[in-house]
Structure 1
């Protein structure tokens, strides 16, 4: 925004200090002058009071002028120095803001001293810079990973097309099948990226959603995949009403169940899904059997395009956004996601969401 040039805050404070000091001096001199006028006749009545009063008035006026001039100079100089000292923290905050505007998010103010308004502002600004730096780093990492993931199917498609063009005797049916699989993966990845972006923008209408019904729908959808992989479902729990987008919460539930099915034992695996109500909200828990995971790996599973090392080579590894989408959906619904490795192998994933407000005025 273009603004007309104006006085600096330091100059305004200086003039304010000097003006206040000058006004206080004027009031003090006026009080002394009134006091002298009210008491002078009693003191000078016997020696020609009128002539003495005139001399005293002239001397008092001259002295008052000198005092006022001194107060003005002292107020300006002292106010300028005092304002500069008081505004020094603000200057550091301004410098940090300019650095951040130029792209330097690693700089911190770290204002010394006891807590006051300026230091509270500096600490809040440092916290904001730390969050921005982490967010920008995450976005850059996400963009790099997304570019890599999208480049892979395109490179494979190009290679298959080159084979079809240079080797006319190659089985065209095999090439078409592989192109179909590669393009399907690219479409799935693009849709997952769009879903993740839409979730992070919070562009949805909130309404009461029963998590237990979402579990039923997700398990019915994924039952063929579970049967194919020899995985059985065990569901339990009560009605758990959350508030949010039914489509996003269904996607979250489906991703959790799909992740539990795909990353399970080669045969005779189990997925246990439960919903419940707690004093602080509603809970969805998905627990699966599987291989033991190192504790250091578990926190990275919600990062985009991060998978366990054993999972990348499977045919059902997905696009690497399943748990990242779950985390994002839980976050935009003001919920929490907790991932815990099971001692016997596999994971226990718990999503806790705020409970929906009680519905009033409903008829049975």
Structure 2
């Protein structure tokens, strides 16, 4: 309409002289234009509303699908996914992001369920063993070796305490608390843990050697100490070979990073088990029993040692690497970033 009126500005007003019986002026053209203009506008309005309705429906269809999946997920069906087909536009990116979020949520919930089930099993086992030993002792007190019974009860009770302490430690890291970092000498921390655990290694018949190079990091002393203790205990407890050994090495590497390496002898670890060692309650020697098969019979751990190591490394921004030795045992490497290069982190 604007274009038509613009053109009509150049048509002169009044009668136009020229050859022919009749030459229309501007008023005649406007009289002819107005009815047809409204007719065209009416047709365009119908086409516009109808076409817009269809196009809006096609454009909003992905949103309706995403909303439907969200409703079913909210009702408890975590295996639902959008899986939107079509071009890689904004709706496709939104759907893919939503599916990725659901994958992570489902994995987290599945992990929590497995963790709860394993925790219940691990906590029930020592108490079931204690009850069984006490029932036998009460049934025939005269035939019992009291010293042996007390030692077995003590070992089983210690195992239950270790599981509870490990669960509390893991829950504290995962609770979202901000990790307080202070300057820490890794070599000094490792030396302290070695002094505490050397009697246990001697009892188990495992030789410990260390090469401790200086290296400073910004970290939580409590958590790093617990990480080192778990790595050493893992090496001691799973040394089921004669003349078992554990080596500890700390050094400052490229770009000021500090690397901690703990290697130990032991049984050959399969690739399948290696990939699952940082999951809670996974052990290379199984779940049953209170003492390992090593020379000294070191107590079997809770199965949370490497899981705690992985979480402590995660909250400190450290890189964790676990490799199996071809002749048996593991090599665990933790590389801490240089001081001042990582912002304070929180547990998940």
The bucket for the TM-score relative to the shorter chain is 0.7 to 0.9
Distance 1:136 1:120 in 2: 24
2:224 aligned partner: 249
1:6-60 residue CA offsets vs partner (Å, 9 max, x unmatched)? xxxxxxxxxxxxxxxxxxxxxxx13312331x2222684449x9x9544433332
Following superposition, the deviation at residue 221 of structure 1 comes to 1.0
- Asked if the contact 1:229–1:266 (Cα under 8 Å) also holds between the matched residues in 2, the reply is no
- Asked if the contact 1:241–1:282 (Cα under 8 Å) also holds between the matched residues in 2, the reply is yes
Following superposition, the deviation at residue 311 of structure 1 comes to 7.6
TM-score by structure 2 length? 0.84
Does 2:11 correspond to 1:40? yes
Residues 231 and 161 of structure 1: is their aligned pair in 2 closer, same or farther, counting only changes over 3 Å?
Answer: closer
Q: Give the structure with the higher percent helix.
A: 1
Residues 201 and 66 of structure 1: is their aligned pair in 2 closer, same or farther, counting only changes over 3 Å?
Answer: same
Gaps of 5+ in 2: 342-348
| Mapping for residues 312-351 of structure 1, pairs under 5 Å | 312-313=288-289, 314=292, 316-351=299-334
Following superposition, the deviation at residue 237 of structure 1 comes to 4.1
Distance 2:230 2:156 in 1: 21
- Asked if the contact 1:263–1:290 (Cα under 8 Å) also holds between the matched residues in 2, the reply is yes
Residues 103 and 335 of structure 1: is their aligned pair in 2 closer, same or farther, counting only changes over 3 Å?
Answer: farther
Match of 2:127 among 145, 154, 158: 154
Following superposition, the deviation at residue 124 of structure 1 comes to 1.5
| Mapping for residues 279-290 of structure 1, pairs under 5 Å | 279=254, 281-290=257-266
- Asked if the contact 2:241–2:265 (Cα under 8 Å) also holds between the matched residues in 1, the reply is no
Match of 1:275 among 233, 250, 268: 250
Following superposition, the deviation at residue 149 of structure 1 comes to 0.9
Which segment is superposed worse, 102-111 or 252-261?
Answer: 102-111
Following superposition, the deviation at residue 302 of structure 1 comes to 1.9
Distance 1:257 1:189 in 2: 17
| Mapping for residues 138-149 of structure 1, pairs under 5 Å | 138-149=111-122
| Mapping for residues 148-297 of structure 1, pairs under 5 Å | 148-163=121-136, 167=140, 169=142, 177-203=151-177, 204-279=179-254, 281-297=257-273
Residues 352 and 44 of structure 1: is their aligned pair in 2 closer, same or farther, counting only changes over 3 Å?
Answer: farther
Match of 1:76 among 49, 68, 74: 49
Residues 62 and 231 of structure 1: is their aligned pair in 2 closer, same or farther, counting only changes over 3 Å?
Answer: same
- Asked if the contact 1:202–1:332 (Cα under 8 Å) also holds between the matched residues in 2, the reply is no
Following superposition, the deviation at residue 63 of structure 1 comes to 2.1
1:310-341 residue CA offsets vs partner (Å, 9 max, x unmatched)? 68442511111111111121122223322111
Gaps of 5+ in 1: 1-28, 359-364
- Asked if the contact 1:334–1:354 (Cα under 8 Å) also holds between the matched residues in 2, the reply is yes
TM-score by structure 1 length? 0.80
SS of the aligned residue for 1:194 comes to: helix
Residues 151 and 300 of structure 1: is their aligned pair in 2 closer, same or farther, counting only changes over 3 Å?
Answer: same
Distance 2:326 2:103 in 1: 35
- Asked if the contact 1:200–1:332 (Cα under 8 Å) also holds between the matched residues in 2, the reply is no
Q: Which has the higher contact order (CA 8 A, sep 6+)?
A: 2
Following superposition, the deviation at residue 72 of structure 1 comes to 1.9
- Asked if the contact 2:262–2:331 (Cα under 8 Å) also holds between the matched residues in 1, the reply is yes
RMSD: 2.7
SS of the aligned residue for 1:236 comes to: strand
- Asked if the contact 2:259–2:334 (Cα under 8 Å) also holds between the matched residues in 1, the reply is yes
2:75 aligned partner: 102
Does 2:5 correspond to 1:30? no
Distance 2:147 2:326 in 1: 46
Residues 225 and 176 of structure 1: is their aligned pair in 2 closer, same or farther, counting only changes over 3 Å?
Answer: closer
Runs of 4+ deviating beyond 6 Å = none
- Asked if the contact 1:229–1:267 (Cα under 8 Å) also holds between the matched residues in 2, the reply is no
The alignment covers a number of residue pairs equal to 327
